[in-house]
Amino acid sequence: MIFDSILGKFSKDIGIDLGTANTLVYVKGRGIMINEPSVVALNQKTGQILAIGEEARKMVGRTPAHIVASRPMRDGVISDFEVTEQMLKYFIDRVHRGSLSFMPRPRVVIGIPSGVTEVERKAVEDAARNAGAREVYLVEEPIAAAIGARLPVQDAVGSMIVDIGGGTTEIAVISLGGLVTGKSIRVAGDKMNEDIINFAREDHNILLGERTAEEIKISIGSCLDLDEELQATMRGRDLVSGLPKEILITDSEVRRALEGSVKFLVSSVKETIEDTPPELLADIMRNGIILAGGGCLLRRFDEMLQRETKVPVKLSEDPLTAVVRGTGIIVENIDRLRDSLISSS
């Protein structure tokens, strides 16, 4: 313990948004220093990790049989414990590179989905400890996102946040530092990519890669009709001939592909509003629903949600970093915001 606390003096406390698609790291006193895909490339013959983050993402779908580029996080929780541990260790070491600490032992705050089980929660704690953390604090992602969006989470005021990540969407009403009501659903960015892959297969007989589907979603994805038509080239393998094939698709086709997931998200938000106590609902009507996470950047999603819920909807500043900024604010003010943390197992 004494050894740990001595090493801790030379370590930088960090906040981590351990996402299904991307991992972001905030360093105390310095801000967001890492924003990399949650992807690890592994040599299965030797068990050696070849690349982590952006370098590994470039390998997805392009490796020989014995090299696997995979995502150790699925639906916001750990699906491969050892690989997640290695990924966290890599990020912790990278933050401390060039500093005096030869064995970093930082305090770490990690955002996790609100719907995780005790076992899944413990897996995150254990992975962070094994990766070198001296103390691990967990915070529910919607609370971290709300803190990152500068909402008055500690006050007796209702704040509503919808955080659409890669693996999960977190919908929550927060007051006095805790969740009053909410949902954690496994329909988010990855599910939308899957929708586009299914649409390509069923409507055009094309087998698409996950990365190509995501690029199409970002470049022309939308929820409502747009002022001018957008187009993108869909490239994949023809399922009939087995040869490469490319076709031009429009935003209306992608909108049709995403319709089921978007409707489910909207109905989940409406259900959460129905479960909200009237006093807090009055606050939300006044202050609006705040959107965070990469999924909320889908064109005209905010307008659609406002139309369906009859509540004002606003995008948080830089939605992609709301959760990690929230963990960063907690790292900087750990004693004041301790009530917002999940009690350690």
Q: Distance between CA atoms of 314 and 59, rounded to whole angstroms? A: 36
217 is in an annotated binding site: yes
Q: What is the pLDDT of residues 249-305, one digit of tens each?
A: 999 999 999 999 999 999 999 999 999 999 999 999 999 999 999 999 999 999 999
141 is in an annotated binding site: no
Is 47 a domain residue?
Answer: yes
Q: 266 and 140 in one domain? A: no
216 is in an annotated binding site: yes
Burial class (CB in 10 A: 0-12, 13-18, 19+), 67: middle
Q: Distance between CA atoms of 289 and 273, rounded to whole angstroms? A: 10
167 is in an annotated binding site: yes
Q: 266 and 251 in one domain? A: no
Q: 91 and 69 in one domain? A: yes
Model confidence at 343, pLDDT cuts 50, 70, 90, reads low
172 is in an annotated binding site: no
Q: 248 and 332 in one domain? A: no
Model confidence at 133, pLDDT cuts 50, 70, 90, reads very high
Q: Which of 92-101, 128-137, 268-277, 282-291 has the lowest mean pLDDT?
A: 92-101
Residue 183 has pLDDT above 50, yes or no: yes
Query: pTM for the whole thing?
Result: 0.89
Q: What is the pLDDT of residues 194-249, one digit of tens each?
A: 999 999 999 999 999 888 999 999 999 999 999 999 999 999 999 999 999 999 99
Residue from 211, 209, 172 nearest 37 by CA: 211
Q: 164 and 293 in one domain? A: yes
Is 194 a domain residue?
Answer: yes
Helix (H, G, I), strand (E, B) or coil at 29: coil
Q: What is the DSSP string of 190-240?
A: HHHHHHHHHHHHHHH-EEPPHHHHHHHHHHH-BSS--SS--EEEEEEEETT
| Residue 106 belongs to domain with CATH number | 3.30.420.40
Residue 2 has pLDDT above 70, yes or no: no
Q: 167 and 118 in one domain? A: no
Is 345 a domain residue?
Answer: no
Domain count, the chain: 3
215 is in an annotated binding site: yes
308 is in an annotated binding site: no
Range(s) of the domain holding residue 112: 2-144+323-340
Q: What integer best gives the mean pLDDT of the chain?
A: 91
